[in-house]
Amino acid sequence: MPVKKCSNGKWRIGSGDCMYDTKETAEKAYAGYRASKYANESEYSTVEEQMRYMLNQLDEEISPATDEEYDELTRKNFYQKSPAVVDMATQSKEALQQFYPNGELKTMKSGSGNFVAQWYETADEIFLVGINTVQGKIRREDVGDLKRFIDMLISAMQGGKTLYTSPHRRSMQMLNGVKKKAEERGLNFSMQQSDVMDFGDGTDPELQFYQVTAQIT
């Protein structure tokens, strides 16, 4: 997994934060993470190292995807039900890029290609745009990739980032899974949830959305 130059002139490892001043320091850091991976994958000297490791694992084990792939699935899954949901998703991403110009939109898909996850990441926040599926649900072969994605979210939150997202009622199950896994590790996971906002007739849980803010403290 190569190091990459960011728009602000710094360097990053894969999908990690733009935190390295030079390409050389990023490559040295990556070499260190790779060495620690093979030496002992279960121990980390710092929370930041754990977070970086999980981000690297995500890069290596879940394929990159494009913004267009995610948007296509959003239209496929929601346009017939409610064009307003598709419009809201587009406007939300545009607003994030406008108000957080130093952030980065990231998109990943599972190895099977069935689910595509998208989030907008800044130095202090992760805005989880959502997870769309080709087959309408997470399949058994996706579980391993989904667990790795959840690990990435938890590791980023351990590093001090606040998670913001607007899940529909059915996808709250995944978010509750993040909370449960964090608490199993002895972490203090706090989550604030708004009242439901319904974009349908009250019968479709995939058109009932919440505003959620979550932190690990």
Q: What percent of the chain has pLDDT over 70?
A: 82
Which residue is listed with tokens 């792939």?
Answer: 69
pTM of the predicted model, to two decimals? 0.69
The CATH code of the domain at 63-216 is: 3.40.630.30
pLDDT at position 34: 53
pLDDT band, residue 52 (cuts 50/70/90): low
| pLDDT at 196 exceeding the cut of 80 | yes
Whole-number pLDDT of residue 44: 45
Helices 67-78, 83-99: inter-axial angle, 10-degree rounding: 150
Distances (CA, A) of 73 to 15, 66, 197: 22, 11, 22
Instruction: Give CATH 3.40.630.30 domain extents, the chain.
Output: 63-216
